[in-house]
Amino acid sequence: MTTLWPIALITFKEGVRNRALYGITLLALLLLVANFLISGMIMQEVGKVAVDIALSAVSLSGLLLVLFVGINLMAKDLDRKTIYMVLSRPISRSQYIVGKFLGMVLLIIITMFFLSMFAMLSIQLIKMTHPDYFPRFSWPMILLALSFSTLSLILLSALTFLFASLTSTSFITLVLTVIAYIIGQSLSDVKALVETPQTVGIQVSSVTVKVVQIAYYLFPNLSIFDIKMQAAHALPLSLSYIFWTVLYGLVYTSLALTGAAVIFRRREFP
């Protein structure tokens, strides 16, 4: 821990002072203000729309944080050779990966905490001005949705570490992360579709089904963390769903990080 903490702290400081973070926070605030205005205009299902927009604004901002601040924190070390100064200290490659990741997790949690506060404030303001539209409403479900969103960002961030350890430029890491994100969000639906094609009247070859099934187990299933719909409708979630989702997130994150550390141990930095 004596080695991990300094790496985590400078990673966090480097991230939190990055101007891109201010831009992302500003975007989130604008979306939350827009939430207030939009909800005032539609005058139907206001409660559901307000919760959905608020949670979406936080998720989008978090995604931008991982893509434009997080990736740079790791990949730029390699691009700009700042890694020389870190690895020339008594720090092992694995410690570097874990320390850097802890710094990123700290950045995600703190940023998401503040964004969540603003999101909940916007929901509360709308709730106060339109109390009739909130017959079914649950703060715990909103908190759970925000926590799941944070966990999915931590998982995505671990993936960026894996990609950064494989590639040599931040651009390729960004592209791979975006691809993994898109696949991770839609894979569950695609799998359901190719496994039961008769429901929509299409034919799917057995090879396609296998490919999709392999991809399903290889890529992270990010859609399980998306419970915006349940939060907007205040639908309860089973404890076992919560447990397995959290476990899935933690196990996938650990695997991605372990993979990154194993690859990184073998790398050279000419």
Partner 1 sequence: MHMIKIEGISKEFKENIGAKKIKALDDLTLEVQKGEVFGFLGPNGAGKSTAIKILVNLIRPDKGKASIMDRDVGDTGVRKHIGYLPENPYFYDYLTAEELLWFGGKTTGLSSTAIQKSTDELLRKVNLLGARKRQLRSYSKGMVQRAGLALSLIHDPDVAILDEPMSGLDPLGRKMVGDIILELKSRGKTIFFSSHILTDIERFCDRVGIIVAGRLILVDRLDNILIGNTRLEDVFLGAVEKAGGGMEI
- Give the nearest distance from C-beta 107 to partner 1 in angstroms: 12
Binding site for partner 1 (CB under 8 A): 2-3, 5-7, 9-10, 13-14, 17-18, 80-82, 84-85, 87-92, 268-270
- Give the nearest distance from C-beta 110 to partner 1 in angstroms: 16
DSSP one-letter string for 202-255: ----HHHHHHHHHHHHHS--GGGG--HHHHHTT----HHHHHHHHHHHHHHHHH
- Give the nearest distance from C-beta 5 to partner 1 in angstroms: 7
Question: CB–CB of 136/29 below 8 Å?
Answer: no
Q: Return the number of other C-beta atoms located less than 10 Å from residue 208's C-beta.
A: 13
Tokens of 264: 């990184």
- Give the nearest distance from C-beta 218 to partner 1 in angstroms: 25
Residue 14 to residue 236: CA distance in whole angstroms: 39
C-beta closer to partner 1: residue 124 or 168:
168
- Give the nearest distance from C-beta 89 to partner 1 in angstroms: 4
**Taking Cα atoms as reference points, which of 115, 137, 119, 95 lies closest to residue 34?**
119
C-beta closer to partner 1: residue 135 or 270:
270
C-beta closer to partner 1: residue 136 or 265:
265
Tokens of 142: 């909103």
C-beta closer to partner 1: residue 47 or 103:
103
- 137 CB contacts (<8 Å, ≥6 apart)? 47, 51, 127, 234
C-beta closer to partner 1: residue 22 or 244:
22
